[in-house]
Amino acid sequence: MAFEEACRMVGECCLMFALSGQEISRERVALWLGRVQEEAVDAIGEPNDALQLAIERLKGR
């Protein structure tokens, strides 16, 4: 389940950048998702597993 959710989040992020005419790169998507992860930790007190998986895969880990 976490993998599918991670893919959905990456896809939504890429669509957001594409719709606004911005450059899409692995680094940029990982950075944006990292910011979302920080907000998730602030809101619920722990990292989101799907976000963490997406960030790690984008960074090649």
Quick: pLDDT tens for 4-27: 999 999 999 999 999 999 999 999
Q: Residue 59's pLDDT is what?
A: 92
Residues 6+ apart with CB under 8 A from 13: 29, 32, 33
- The domain in which residue 35 lies consists of 2-58
> What is the rounded CA–CA span in Å between residue 58 and residue 27?
7
Q: Report the pLDDT averaged over residues 32-48.
A: 93
Mean pLDDT value of segment 25-49:
93
pLDDT: is 61 or 32 the higher one?
32
Count: domains in the chain = 1
Closest Cα to residue 53, out of 1, 16, 15?
1
User: pLDDT tier at 1 (50, 70, 90 boundaries)?
Assistant: confident
List the structure tokens of 28. 């940029």
pTM of this structure: 0.85
